[in-house]
Amino acid sequence: MKNNSIVLVSLTAALLVNSTHAGAEESFIGWLLDFSRTKEVKPVTDKHYQEECGECHFAYQPGLLPARSWDRLLKAEAMRDHFGDNAEMDIDTLKEIHDYAVENAADKSYYKRSRKIAAATADGPTPLRITELHYIQRKHHELPEKMIKGNRSVKSLSYCDKCHTQADDGVYDNDTVSIPNYPDWDD
Amino acid sequence: MKLKESLANFFAVICLTVVAAMAHASEAVFEPELPTVASSYFNKHNFSNYRPYLLAQNEVPTAKSQDEISVTSFEKFNPPLFTGSNAHKFLGVGTLALVIATAVAPKPPEVEDRAPTQAELDAQKSSSHAKLGRAAATLAVATVATGLLYHWDDFHLEDGLFDPDNQHALLGAAGALAMLYAISKAPDEGHAGMGIAGGAAMAVAIKLTW
């Protein structure tokens, strides 16, 4: 009986420890009884974010970077030199996009992949590129160069949606990967 | 009865081996130039020296010699239904279902005031409760096995105990062990608690990475 109590307490503790992030989005009970899948990254739900970011590149989910990264990236002065391009926009739209990204950043999301990114970026300098994240690099380490940079249908790891066929939905698992020109690739 | 049980167990092992082998056969070819130890890819090691890793530096311009690469037309990609990950997922959910079924299945009456007769022991072993319990433990082991096979690269001790994948793996394995212990002790008193604890550990493991 004593052993069972220890097991029960341990399991409850495991749930509670993991529910701290859930608290940012919903109540503990709500999270516990929610059966919708949260193993990936929360899809983009803000129309302006999708439209403004998606106009030039894949609209990366906010859950792919911590809040401090979005805070630095989506400042008016930073947008004048957004990875070499001028991406200025009106101040109200930028504020909305900034706030949405910060509120849904990796360190504020319960989605599993976001939590892993948050843990991997908790210390050290503020990452500004998703492709620089240690977690992302580790996930792609076994891909040979020819499949990405040497593949004219992909060109760079930055183009997530070229291979992750459900990237728009925030799904980045192995089962949904299809590398252009390498249809037989299997992880 | 014993022979029948052994045959059933043997058949279950063969089935699981075939399933694992089928899925394993579709795995990528081993890359001999890459380190296989997960810790080799951590910051403290200079793993960026490995050539395939350099592709992550997306600032580097696109490779020039692409002429030999044929571009195939894109078609709507449908993720395969039968994958190792899916097998792992369904085995885990199936384990939970069987744990619940085991708990609610009718149990043969317990004999407390005397030693059970052989007929009573046989009845206990062949009861729905016992069969479902054994099936649940078997599925739990299969779940752990498929998890190790197809999600081995999600498990990194270096990420710490708070990592959801690490917790998932540890709780899942502990749950399977608890279930095995429970069926090894059955029908003795006390096996129920361990069985329930095993099922609960599995349930928490699933929830953490659902």
Q: Is the ipTM, as predicted for this complex, more than 0.90?
A: no
User: What pLDDT sits at residue B187?
Assistant: 76
Question: Which residue from A minimizes the CA distance to B33?
Answer: A142
Bigger pLDDT: B41 vs B175: B175
As a whole number, the mean pLDDT across chain B is 75
Structure confidence at residue B60 as a pLDDT band (50, 70, 90): very low
Which A residues in the span 44-83 are in contact with B, Cβ-Cβ below 8 Å? none
Residue A68: Cβ-neighbour burial (10 angstroms; 0-12, 13-18, 19+): middle
Question: Which residue from A minimizes the CA distance to B207?
Answer: A32
Nearest by CB: A14 against B42, B197, B204: B204
CB B177 within 8 A of CB B144: no
User: What pLDDT sits at residue B159?
Assistant: 84
CB of B43 within 8 Å of any CB in chain A?
yes
Side-chain half-sphere CA neighbours of B206 within 13 A? 25
B159: which chain A residues are within 8 Å (Cβ-Cβ)?
116, 119-120
Q: What is the dihedral of CA B81, A139, A75, A59, to 10 degrees?
A: -20
Q: Among residues of chain B, what percentage have pLDDT more than 70?
A: 69
Across the A:B interface, residue pairs with CB atoms under 8 Å apart total 140
Q: Determine which of A1, A7, A37 to mutate to test the interface with B (most B C-beta atoms within 10 Å).
A: A7
Strand, helix or coil for residue A160: helix
Mean pLDDT of B130-155: 92
CB of A143 within 8 Å of any CB in chain B?
yes
Strand, helix or coil for residue B64: coil
CB of A158 within 8 Å of any CB in chain B?
yes
Structure confidence at residue A8 as a pLDDT band (50, 70, 90): low
Which B residues in the span 70-99 are in contact with A, Cβ-Cβ below 8 Å? 70-72, 74, 77, 79-80, 83, 85-86
**Is A146 in Cβ contact with B210 (below 8 Å)?**
no
CB of B158 within 8 Å of any CB in chain A?
no
CB of A174 within 8 Å of any CB in chain B?
yes
pTM greater than 0.80: no
Strand, helix or coil for residue A181: coil
Spatial separation of the C-alpha atoms in residues A145 and A156, rounded to whole Å: 10
User: What pLDDT sits at residue A182?
Assistant: 86
Sequence spans of domains, chain A: 2-33, 47-176
Distance from CA of B80 to the nearest CA of A (A): 7
Q: In the block, which residue shows the tokens 């992550």? A: B56
Query: Which spans in chain A are helix H?
Result: 2-22, 28-32, 47-54, 67-73, 76-79, 91-103, 112-120, 134-140, 145-148, 160-163
Residue B161 tokens, joined: 């105990």
